[in-house]
Amino acid sequence: MSSRTSWIPYALIAPSVLFLAAFFLVPLVQTVWLSFSGDEGLSLVNYQRMAGDLNFSLAIQNTFLLTLVVVPIQVALALVMATMVSKLEKGRDIALWILTIPLGISDLAAGLAWLSLLQNTGYLNSALYALGIIPGPVGWLSQETPWSLFAAIAMAEIWRATAIVLVILIAGLQLIPKEFSEAAEIFGAQPWTRFRRITLPLLKPSLQSALILRTVLAFEVFAVVYALGGRNFPVLAGEAYTWQNENQNYGVAAAYAVLIMAISLAATALYLRVLRTRPEQLP
């Protein structure tokens, strides 16, 4: 019996491992290789061109700014939403279902939905015009209005991707035994103290997963930015796309891809270290 069980798990995961190796690891290695190849063998020429490009520092700046603004707001919002949903007695499923609707929408579709709200002839301008606040169409998404463009992209991203954090945190909240909170309540702990001293520490593993997932995805942000701002708001993934498809220089595009991967890996390592949970702290 034991000899049989020893290989069964391996056999079961073999197909997915093979699949990942063929369709993920191989292209990954090829991309890294492509990014380091120049006219005469190995070289850093692609990275030099990437760093020397007029949009490079802007793309780095925009991507980090967006991540630093969007991810904390999403986590805070998701914490509030998760706590409220878990307190609901009735209609909990319906509330959760409604809150997670954006999860089912592709990011490009979400970007286009926000575009129809915010473009010159969009619903926002129509509403403001009908209320007599503006005399004619106002541009919110042009390169001459960088702050409203940034706000629009941040808002669309927050709307679109807070739900995934919410789902992870709700699952985490459900793992925390009620007894801890009840015991604290008997000893007179106020709700805020209970949240800070009990819920938050015990939620750390879920927070870690949610942060890693959201941060990595935030560094890859593309479709929403592309739909709303085109190239007015350069981000790293957008530059990779432009170098691949418009400039047709696959080497520089690969360099961007490798850079995004390095940043994502670094962020993941940071979260794993800062938010590590010792086994005895687990609920």
247 binds other proteins (CB under 8 A): yes
- Dist. CA 269–CA 229, nearest whole Å: 31
Q: What is the DSSP letter of 102?
A: G
Please count the other Cβ atoms lying within 10 Å of the Cβ belonging to residue 233: 22
Beta bridge partners of 210: none
Of 121, 220, 100, 234, the residue nearest 168 (C-alpha): 100
**Site mask, other proteins, residues 127-156, x = CB under 8 A?**
--------xxx-x-xxxxx-----------
Q: Is 57 exposed, middle or buried (0-12, 13-18, 19+ CB in 10 A)?
A: exposed
Cα separation, 15 vs 116, whole angstroms? 43
Interface with other proteins, residue 12, by CB under 8 A: no
Of 229, 235, 239, 254, the residue at the interface with other proteins (CB under 8 A) is 229
The verdict on 37 binding other proteins (CB under 8 A) reads no
Which of 114, 150, 222, 226 touches other proteins by CB under 8 A? 226
Roughly what angle, to the nearest 10 degrees, separates helices 146-175 and 107-118?
Answer: 140
Does position 172 bind other proteins by CB under 8 A? no
Closer residue to other proteins in complex, CB, 86/148: 148
Q: Which stretch binds other proteins (CB under 8 A): 151-159, 171-179, 196-204, 224-232?
A: 224-232
- Which residues have a Cβ under 8 Å from the Cβ of 63 and sit 6 or more positions away? 218, 219, 221, 235, 236, 237
63 or 181: CB nearest other proteins: 63
Q: Which of 31, 148, 249, 268 binds other proteins (CB under 8 A)?
A: 249
β-strand partners of 38: 41
One residue of 31, 148, 209, 232 binding other proteins per CB under 8 A: 232
DSSP 232-244: SS--HHHHHHHHH
Contact segment (CB under 8 A) with other proteins among 6-14, 26-34, 117-125, 266-274 equals: 117-125
Query: How far is 202 from 195, CA to CA, in rounded Å?
Result: 10
Nearer to other proteins, 104 or 135 (CB): 135
31 binds other proteins (CB under 8 A): no
Q: Count the residues of the shown chain that bind other proteins, applying the rule CB under 8 A.
A: 25
Is 179 one of the binding residues for other proteins (CB under 8 A)?
no
Q: What Cα–Cα distance (Å) separates residue 226 from each residue in 53, 112, 137, 150?
A: 19, 9, 22, 12
Select the span of 16-24, 28-36, 247-255, 268-276 touching other proteins (CB under 8 A).
Answer: 247-255
User: Using CB under 8 A as the criterion, which residues of the chain lie in contact with other proteins when the complex forms?
Assistant: 54, 119-121, 135-137, 139, 141-145, 226, 229-232, 242, 244-249
